Structure 1
Amino acid sequence: EDPAVVVLDAGGRWAVSLLSGHEGGANSLAIRVANLLGAEPIVTTTTEALKSVIVGIGCRRGTPAERIVAAVQTALADAGIALDEVRLLASADVKAAEAGLLAAAVALGVPVRFIAAAEIRASLRDFSHSDFVKKKVNLPAVAEPAALLAGRRTRFVCRKKRINGITIALAREGFSWSESAPEVP
């Protein structure tokens, strides 16, 4: 029985599942280590590496993990997407210390990535803007830009929707060898 082995690059940017990925738990360990360090988890197990859905999340400070998990599950079910298709959760970096969001990522078993506020502001993509979000965190939006900017070649599966006070947007990454999800108007 091989032990789970995860390695980090010298800069702490990448947490790589090196040995005993799926069966030995290195894939989930890489995700946990990446979440703790703010690194990118690198998982090459085919069934896990091909996950393509990114869940953008906006929530108020102090929102409990259980409510975030329930909102994510509802949004995924409404879109006909299984949890095992989710590659990561994403939000704005102003939420990086949000206990409920971090705990929701652990409960769902997916990493969370925080997008720099400057990157959201600089993006030329068309997001649904919110005066409330602008007032609270000085950003035009959180869920939609986080969902799109956290991945590569992303397209909306579901633009922002509010579920029990939590804003969720779903995006799918396109792979160069496969069809991308159609853009949602």
Structure 2
Amino acid sequence: MKPLQAVGMGLVIVALGAKVNGYDLLADPLGWLLVLYGVRRLPRLPWGSTVPFLCVVALAVSVLLWFPAVPSALADADPSLEWAASLPEIAAVGALCFGLARLAEEAGDRRARTWLRTACTLLVAVALVPVVVLSLRSGAVGAMLLLGLVTIVLVIVLLFAYSARPWAAEPLDQTTPS
């Protein structure tokens, strides 16, 4: 499996939910482990260990949120706490998209760079729109959720679409004799 395919499949697991008695059968921590596996196999990702670190933080938060009592307690206390708990995931995916956009730019792949930067912009909106919606207590929650859904679907599609690009391929092992 190519690195971006692993990341894409991990995000599919994170994005989908199949709850039984409050527990998600498609556990987000498993998805984040797959994302982390793919990220660690990416060549020369800008910022070195920043993206893997953010993925580890998202993994840790997803472990806590997998237990139904935790998101329930956050929602009961204040809806903004639910939003705050989603920020590590958004930051990890945003940093990944930005790093991939840099790799695409260095390789001269302008179209990929543009789409990945668009995904970054949408991720920033996904992170910031809840501040406005929750503070105004407006009825735009549906639009906010739709923006998040469209954004994660776009990111997943881009990851699979660009998985075969040379700038996203796993580096060849130069130590193995031919």
TM-score category of the 2 structures, normalised to the smaller one: under 0.3
TM value normalised by structure 2: 0.27
Structure with higher strand content: 1
Larger gyration radius, structure 1 or structure 2: 2
Structure with higher helix content: 2
